[in-house]
Structure 1
Amino acid sequence: MSNPLESRVIELGKHVVRMTTAAGSGHPSSALSLGHIVGTLMYEQMRYDPCNPWNPASDRLVLSEGHSVPIVYATYADLGGVVGKSPAAKRALTLDDLKTLRELDSVLDGHPNPAEGFPFFDAATGSLGQGLSVGAGLALGARLSKIDKRIFVIIGDGESREGQIWEALDFIIDHKLVNVCPIFNCNGQGQADYVSKQQSADVLVGKLRAFGYDVQDVDGHKMDQIAAAVAKVGKGSMSIAIVARTQKGWGVDSLKDKSNHGKPLTAAQVADAEASLDKVAAELKLSKASGPAPKPPMPPSANGPAKKDKIAVMPFAEAVAKTGMAEAVAKNKLSTRRAYGAALVALGHADERIVAVDGDVSNSTFASLFGKAFPNRFFECKIAEQNMISVAAGLSAAGYIPFASSFAKFLARGYDQLEMAAITRANVKLVGSHAGCSLGADGPSQMSLPDLAYFRAYTNADDGRGNPALTFFHPADAVAAYRLTEMAANINGLCYVRTHRPDVPLIYPQDATFKLGGCGKLAEGNAVTVVGSGYMTTLALAAVRELEKAGVKCNLFDAYCLPMDAEPILSAARKANGVILTVEDNFAGGFNAALAEAAARSGDVKVFAMTCPRIPKSGKDGDIVLAALGLGVQNIVARLKELARG
């Protein structure tokens, strides 16, 4: 006997064809392969309320195979699911709305994106390989909130070639996240050709079993088989993985060939496609779907983590004492990476939403201090930075404030994941330690030199809510690191905190205050206006003090935030000799570029830069490397003398 939901899948297929044709783009063949899987989940198996997609107790669906999203849109519209950027702006999605797929003012984006008003999803997907990691983060959040929920993640077979998928599969086993279920849509086709045999259903079954999963091998167009497999999720001690054998373009003969990926039908072809689906319905002896869509089972009631208007940490002195750093402060030598660890612990005491993930370097980033203080809120990701960043995005979607730390250089392999978090508008804080040339002996494979230019690009973009797409913090000393980490926790959006390995003297008093877009004035003069950032502020200060002995007084600013208000620096430069010198341990494109653009707009100040001029090599310590690059204290002194002479 056929499942009555199969008749609805026929109608969903027609909607997929119509909506992609109306849009003139999209992926109808991929969407059609998922009709029975999505139908089983959204009509029957998932516990959720389509009228309240913000309910934290709801089962969740992450469509890692984001290009197949029209089938989800069609099902959600059939259910009358709620859309909108907030509960106050909610409305029911209608079948007529499907015609607006991919339009500029539509909530139906080309790929899943909750930020554009489709809150059924928790994260933007479409750049392949990332959804399972997001699902793992959602599961961690559910565990912390003591919520019994399941997370289903649909992954394409071609997509499973992405290494991040296997990072996430390991992570799920490591952390015993049995409520996460990866579902592999094995339709055998990629974009340009058939998938490799290495991504075939048979091989995937073997790989997943080797990874420790209880694999359910099902016909992806048999709803009873899908339902039986889904019902096992979260019931035992093993994680369930479903390998669903499907057909791309199911039900529509003209969309089954491998040449049809990402190709909607023309308007003239739609009638034949609908007739093809009706033929399948007749062969299966399905009656035409009628009446309202069946209501999915309701979730239990539950609450996510409690929100606070402001997170306030304990005084700096108390925090460093709690984390064993008081002696270092007394000796006036403490690195920004260690102060970050103290700040993270203080934040953990201040707010239960603070969580931390790290990529097997927590004893270097000092996130290990948080792990010792709050072991249930620290999640080791091992050497898998892409998975780590996407897990953080999932934790953010679950209502937590994740700090994700690694060496700044290693975070570079997760820039795509960061971009997807930005599209999601995730509340994730990245912390990159051991940044810049000051790392010294480890050499350029461990340094991060282009990161400032990369992250600065985000600080210049609006996130669609009137805020920067990312806020960048670059502390020069321990006090700044402590307070800027606190500031990052209070920003609802992406942040990047750049820390350094070397111990440095305290520049700021322990009760110093900082502000968004601000800078600290450390010296005043009438010669050149010097702007340092991070570790280089310490060297710039030494150079300025040396010049003072020779009677040359310079302005000195510590630039610690992007986007920045450049006016205090420009104003000081105008009152001096009209010249600014920026000093940085990274490639060009950071604070030097920000000030140069501001100066170009004002037209009355010149900006010169000292940045890393070439790919460096290792030296016995950071100062030796910096001197070899022309960035040592004496190099700064010499350049300032030149600029002071005019």
Structure 2
Amino acid sequence: MSQGAWLYELGQQLRVDAVRAADAAGSGHPTSSMSAADLMAVLAARHLRYDFDDPHSPENDHLVFSKGHASPLLYALYKACGAVSDTELLSYRRRGSRLEGHPTPRLPWVEVATGSLGQGLPVGVGMALAGMHLDRLPYRVWVLCGDSELTEGSVWEAMEYAGDSGLGNLTAILDINRLGQRGPTRHGWDLDAYQRRAAAFGWNTIEIDGHDTAAIDDAYAQAEASPERPTAIIARTVKGAGASAVANQEGAHGKPLSDAEAAIAELGGVRDNRVTVTRPEAGHQPHSFPEGRLELPSYDTGSQTATRSAFGEAVTALGHARGDVVVLDGEVADSTRAQYFAKAHPERFFECYIAEQQMVAAAVGMQVRGWVPYAATFAAFFSRAYDFIRMAAISRANIKLVGSHAGVAIGQDGPSQMGLEDIAALRAVHGSVVLHPCDGNSTARLTAAMADHHGITYLRTMRADTPVLYGPDETFEIGGSKLPRSSDADQATVVSAGTTVHEALRAADILEREGIPLRVVDAYSIKPVDAATLRRAAADTGRIVVAEDHWPEGGLGDAVLDVFADTRPSPRLMKLAVSSMPASATPDEQLAEARIDAESIAEAVRAMVRQEEGASV
């Protein structure tokens, strides 16, 4: 059989198996799979360098299905490569099956979860950056994109970044099948429209018939021969190709074929061909950076420092100690203090500019290869990248997020710059950790602790200098808390974090003069929260006031309430939080206006104590 005939047969087999998988499941996206079948057949048989027996080999190429709904095609490809059996293929979408509706790393050959469209290419950029600048290995990154997702802004953030960075190890395979979920896509089969856009961002572009296996083969070869620029292969395809009942037909998206048997017969029947994917050339080792002894910065008790500065100094020290730590910036490194790392470790610092989606996506791509990325921007601006963070959790990703300029305490910049939703948003992410230290030494130690914790970890830092409460030898664990003030006589407890720890301590000084001893909990770990300390405080004092520089919904107050949701009896509990829209004002004015300053905290405790004392008379 000639090479062209073999590739044709393989493409038909992938279509048949995609139809069979969706038919067995009673759901899925076979037509979206059928359009790209020839593209994947040629890639696997001729150009992919991958060892299915060693999916974690640093020399492997990386294949990302950005159009994750085409999972039947991916699983059909795995079957053709001998990675999954036909029995497992037909378990698609069933409970307990590894073959989920959209790919996830439950399969060892899937490195990132996809399905939220527009994310595969930005993540691929991170992988390509790792290959070129960190691992310094010759692997390639192949990303299959659908035409519908090319309207997502994140795709063009990725296009610009890749073109500007000269990522010649990245190839985007654009499956232009003309039809989206509800009808035609914006540009239909106007390949030139896509070509002009990609070329404008500095990409090498190749327009082809996506069902001509010889043309596909040649396009991949051209991409491999273009080391200085990323390549976009713009392939005209037919949705549902090979089955006349659905080919190029509207209304066939996202559902199994009504007559799968007829379509399979038309496609030439069930096949069981096997592809021997070429393994990568052995002998390459990933680059490693020097490592040394960790010497975190330390600050004298009573001195003043900003937690954002402590982060910058700590992550820089961490970079000296650990060669796997990298930092990504959203063009605010001077404010987040990530610039300290950039000056000390320029080879491991990546400027993503004002493109927070690309910044988080690049971090996800880098962690695939074992790097430990810290991505830093203003706390408020992570909201732009929230879907990427959500998908990172599904990817089981190991990324560190650092949000500065939190809360109203930043002052005159006003609400557009204030992170007031960030705790709620990051607490809601599956398996996440949320940390909000109040001083320099706690920030430094928690910055280091983040590197040792696998998962999505968020550190919230502050703009202003704050007093150093803890000595440099104090320990800070994820899930812990501190008691900067407590006694056996305490009549109430204030639970605080960040700025409000200092306000709570000032409130304690006010109340002490009035004969109301106050316990102060520094709940620097908001998720997981230190439930044991909170329960003990409730048992000892019976009254809890939570003070936080955040909206009342979903923040520290709700984390505390969760602790007592199933506790009987529950303490009396009051939440103090930012309840009205702030405007420009000084930091002290902001805290007072939001009623989370020392006077407001003291007033809340005083009223709680006196009300109960009056009720008992």
Pairing 1:560–2:524 present: yes
Mapping 1:223-262, distance limit 5 Å: 223-236=213-226, 237-256=228-247, 257-262=249-254
Partner of 2:436: 474
Alignment partner, residue 314 of structure 1: 295
CA contact (8 A) 2:142 2:172 kept: yes
Report deviation, 1:603: 2.0
In structure 1, C-alpha distance between the alignment counterparts of 2:370 and 2:286, rounded to whole Å: 6
**Structure 1 residue aligned with 2:45:** 43
Counterpart Cα distance in 1 of 2:162 and 2:276: 32
Which of 578, 590, 609 lines up with 1:612 in the alignment?
578
Indicate yes or no: 2:204 matched with 1:214.
yes
Match of 1:19 in 2: 21
- Structure 1's consecutive aligned runs of 4 or more residues displaced over 6 angstroms after TM superposition are 305-308
Secondary structure of the structure 1 residue equivalent to 2:161 = helix
Q: Which residue of 2 aligns with 1:108?
A: 99
Which of 410, 413, 419 is the matching residue for 1:439?
Answer: 410
1:622 aligned residue: 587
* Aligned-pair CA distance for 1:330: 8.4
Residues 80 and 273 in structure 2, CA contact (< 8 A), matched pair in contact too: no
Shift of 1:173: 1.9
In the alignment, residue 64 of structure 1 is paired with which amino acid? S
CA contact (8 A) 1:157 1:199 kept: no
> Which residue, out of 349, 366, 391, partners 1:395?
366
Relative to structure 1, the CA distance from residue 410 to residue 198 in structure 2 (aligned partners, 3 Å threshold; closer, same or farther) is farther
Contact in 2 for aligned 1:434/1:499 (Cα 8 Å): yes
User: In structure 2, what is the equivalent of residue 195 of structure 1?
Assistant: 185
Count of equivalent residues? 601
Residues of 1 paired with 2:37 and 2:154: CA distance? 26
Gapped runs of 5+ residues in structure 1?
82-92, 282-287, 318-325, 462-468
Match of 1:323 in 2: none
| 1:297 Cα deviation from its structure 2 partner | 4.5
- Hey, what does 2:128 align to over in structure 1? 139
Contact 1:44 1:297 in 2 (8 A): no
- Kindly provide the amino acid, as one letter, of the partner of residue 392 in structure 2: A
1:124 is matched with 113
Q: Secondary structure at the match of 2:328?
A: strand
CA distance in 1, matches of 2:548, 2:99: 43
Q: CA deviation at 1:199?
A: 8.0
**How many angstroms apart in 2 are the aligned matches of 1:218 and 1:291?**
26
Alignment partner of 1:429 is 2:410: no
Between the aligned partners of 1:199 and 1:393, the Cα distance in structure 2 is 32
C-alpha distance in 2, partners of 1:307/1:212?
30
**TM-score normalised by length of structure 2:** 0.94
Determine the C-alpha separation between the residues in 1 that align with 2:286 and 2:115. Answer: 27
Q: Which amino acid in 2 is paired with 1:263?
A: K
Superposed CA deviations along residues 230-260 of structure 1, whole A, max 9, x for unmatched, are 1122433222211011000000112221211
SS of the aligned residue for 2:206 comes to strand
Q: How does 1:57-456 map to 2 (within 5 A)?
A: 57-81=59-83, 93-114=84-105, 116=106, 118-143=107-132, 144-197=134-187, 200-236=190-226, 237-256=228-247, 257-266=249-258, 269-278=259-268, 292-304=274-286, 313-317=294-298, 332-456=303-427
With over 3 angstroms needed to count, the CA separation of the structure-2 counterparts of 1:575 and 1:54, relative to structure 1, is: same
Task: Tell me if 1:547 matches 2:528.
Answer: no
Q: 1:320: which partner in 2?
A: none
Post-superposition offset of 1:609: 0.8
Mark the CA change 1:100 to 1:306 in structure 2 (over 3 Å): closer, same or farther. farther
Pick aligned residue for 1:594 from 534, 554, 559: 559
SS at match of 1:602: coil
Q: What are the superposed Cα offsets for residues 128-155 of structure 1, whole Å, 9 maximum, x if unpaired?
A: 0011111111112222112111101111
Matches within 5 A, 1:562-577: 562-576=527-541
**Stretch deviating more after TM superposition (421-430 or 97-106):** 97-106
Q: Secondary structure of the residue that 1:340 maps to in structure 2?
A: helix
For 1:37 and 1:536, the matched residues in 2 are separated by 57
Tell whether the 8 Å contact from 1:48 to 1:299 is kept in structure 2 after alignment. Answer: no
Is the partner of 2:438 in helix, strand or coil? Answer: coil
* CA offset digits 1:545-570 (Å, max 9, x no partner): 22223332111110011111222222
Alpha carbons of 1:97 and 1:312: their partners in 2 closer, same or farther (altered >3 Å)? farther
Letter in 2 for 1:553: P
Corresponding residue of 1:490? 452
Shift of 1:419: 0.6
Q: 1:446 to 1:315 in 2, by over 3 A?
A: closer
User: Could you say which residue in structure 2 is the equivalent of 1:517?
Assistant: 479
Q: Tell me, what secondary structure is at the counterpart of 2:419?
A: coil
CA RMSD in angstroms, aligned pairs only? 2.0
Distance 1:457 1:111, change over 3 A: same
Structure 1 length as normaliser, TM-score?
Answer: 0.90
Q: Decide whether aligned partners of structure 1 residues 315 and 214 sit closer, same or farther in structure 2, where only a CA change above 3 A counts.
A: closer
Residue 600 of structure 1: SS of its match in structure 2? coil
Partner Cα separation in structure 2 for residue 272 and residue 224 of structure 1: 28
Could you list the per-position Cα deviations for residues 594-643 of structure 1 after superposition, in whole angstroms to 9, with x for gaps in the alignment? 22222232223122110111221111x21111111222221112112112
Give the CA deviation at 1:439. Answer: 1.2
Whichever residue aligns with residue 302 of structure 1, its letter is H
Q: 1:595 and 1:305, CA in 2 relative to 1: closer, same or farther beyond 3 A?
A: farther
Q: Is 2:204–2:232's contact at 8 Å kept on the other side of the alignment?
A: yes
Give the drift of 1:502.
0.9
Aligned: 1:585 with 2:575? no
Give the deviation of 1:306 after TM superposition: 7.0
Tell me, in whole angstroms, the C-alpha distance in 2 between the residues paired with 1:45 and 1:582.
Answer: 59
Amino acid corresponding to residue 142 of structure 2 in structure 1: F
Structure 2 unaligned regions, length at least 5: 613-617
Q: Which one-letter code corresponds to 1:170 in the other structure? A: E
8 Å Cα contact 2:177/2:189 also seen in 1:
no
Deviation at residue 475 of structure 1 after TM alignment: 0.6
Determine the C-alpha separation between the residues in 1 that align with 2:483 and 2:352. 39
SS of alignment partner, residue 48 of structure 1: coil
**Contact (CA 8 Å) 1:595, 1:607: kept in 2 or not?**
no
> What is the DSSP-based 3-state SS (H/G/I as helix, E as strand, rest coil) of the residue aligned with 1:100?
coil
**Contact 2:176/2:188 (CA < 8 Å) preserved in 1?**
no
- SS of the counterpart of 1:296? coil
Q: Please give the alpha-carbon distance, in whole angstroms, between the structure 1 residues aligned to 2:292 and 2:447.
A: 11
What is the distance in 2 between the residues matched to 1:330 and 1:54? 46
* Paired letter, 2:23: T
1:4 equivalent among 1, 6, 9: 6
On the 8 A contact 2:189/2:236 being kept in 1, the answer is no
Residue aligned with 2:207, SS: strand
Partner secondary structure for residue 404 of structure 1: strand
Report if aligned partners of 2:13, 2:272 keep a CA contact under 8 Å in 1.
no
Q: Could you say what secondary structure the match of 2:350 adopts? A: strand
Asked whether 1:502 is paired with 2:464, we answer yes
Task: Describe the superposition over 1:378-409 as per-residue Cα deviations: whole angstroms up to 9, x where unpaired.
Answer: 00000110111111000000110000010011
Identity within the alignment, %? 36
Question: How far does residue 530 in structure 1 lie from its aligned partner after superposition?
Answer: 0.8
